[in-house]
Amino acid sequence: MAYQYVVKYRKTTERGNADALSRLPLGYDTTFDDEEACYNVSELNTPINAEIICRHAENDKVLKWVCSYVQRGWPENLSPQDADLRSFFNHRFALTIKSNLLCLQTEYNRVIIPASLRGQILRMLHDGHWGVTKMKQLARRNIWWVNMDKDIVEMCNNYDICKVVNPAPRPWERVHIDFAEPAFNSMWLICVDAFSQFPFIVQMTTTTTAHTISTLSGIFAIEGILETIVSDNGPSFL
C-alpha cells in the first residue's frame, strides 16, 4: 500500500466536531431556533407541467383548431383566412396527441406550447444566461411552437450580459449552409458567413454528399477552414 495507517479509538463525546450537522456540541440556540423566520415557508412558483399546459391549450384558439384537425384529419388545402395554421399544416404528418397534449414528433417528442405560456418558458430557458445556442438545444428536446427559434434569439438580444458572454463570431468562424429550392433546373447551395452575412451561392446539378463536400472544399480553399458549420442535418450534410 502507498500509505501506512495507525487506527486509534476515540469516544463519541470526544469527537463532536466530526459531523457538524448531527454532532455539533452546542446547546439550544434561542436566538436562532425561536426566530419566526425558521418556521416560514417560501412560496415557490409551480413548474410548468402537463396539467398547466392542457389548461392553457384549452383557451388557445389556434391550438384548439389544430387539435381538431389532428383528430378529424386535415383538409387538402387551407383557406387564406387560416394563415395562423399554415406552419402546423406544413408539419401535419408529425403532429399527434398524447395524454391530451399536442406534440410534434421529431427526433424528440416535443410538446407544443400555448401562446400564453411561451413567455414563461423563454424565461425558464434563459435562466442562467446560457446563450442562444444552448437555449435552442434545450428547447428542441422538449418543446416547440411557431417561430420558437426567432423568439429565443430576440430574448437573448435584449440582455447585455448575453452579448458579453456570447460575443458575435469572428469572420468566417461560423457558416450556415442549406440548399435552395430547385430553380432554373438546378439546386443552389447557399453558404452564409454569420459575421458578415456574406453569401456564397453555388449552382448544383446534384445534391449528393460527395458533390456537396467537393463544392464546400472549393469554397474553403478560397476563404479558409472555419470552426463551425450550421445546417438542418439534411441527407446531403450527414
- For residue 206, what is the domain's CATH number? 3.30.420.10
Residues 56 and 144 in one domain: yes
Residues 131 and 54 in one domain: yes
Q: Which of 121, 142, 165 is the last residue of a domain?
A: 165
Alpha helices (runs of H) in the chain, residue ranges in sequence order: 30-33, 50-57, 61-72, 86-90, 115-126, 132-142, 148-157, 160-165, 209-223
Q: How many whole angstroms separate alpha carbon 211 and alpha carbon 217? A: 10
Residues 200 and 160 in one domain: no
CATH of the domain at 59: 1.10.340.70
Domain hosting 71: range is 50-165
Q: How many whole angstroms separate alpha carbon 149 and alpha carbon 125? A: 12
**Digitized pLDDT (tens) for each residue of the chain, 238 residues in all:** 456 778 877 776 666 555 555 555 556 666 655 655 555 555 555 678 999 999 999 999 999 999 999 999 999 988 888 889 999 999 999 999 998 999 999 888 899 999 999 999 998 888 876 778 888 888 988 999 999 999 998 888 877 666 555 556 678 888 999 998 777 788 899 999 888 888 889 998 888 999 999 999 998 888 888 888 888 888 888 7
**Cell numbers describing residue 177:** 449552409
Is 95 inside any structural domain?
Answer: yes
Residues 140 and 83 in one domain: yes
> Interior CA angle at 175 toward 87 and 166, to 5°?
85
* Confidence (pLDDT) at 89: 93
Is 18 inside any structural domain?
Answer: no
Q: Which of 131, 165, 199 is the last residue of a domain?
A: 165
Residues 128 and 178 in one domain: no
pTM above 0.85, yes or no: no
Residues 197 and 159 in one domain: no
Is 24 inside any structural domain?
Answer: no
Residues 181 and 156 in one domain: no
- DSSP-derived letter for residue 131 is -
Is 20 inside any structural domain?
Answer: no
Residues 100 and 157 in one domain: yes
**CB 216 within 8 Å of CB 225:** no
Residues 144 and 202 in one domain: no
* Confidence (pLDDT) at 93: 93
- Let me know how long the chain is: 238
Is 75 inside any structural domain?
Answer: yes
Is 41 inside any structural domain?
Answer: no
**Cell numbers describing residue 139:** 428547447
* Confidence (pLDDT) at 23: 53
User: How many domains does one find in the chain?
Assistant: 2
Nearest to 148 by CA among 117, 190, 170, 177: 117
Is 202 inside any structural domain?
Answer: yes
Is 142 inside any structural domain?
Answer: yes
> Could you count the other beta carbons within 10 Å of the beta carbon of residue 149?
13
- DSSP-derived letter for residue 3 is -
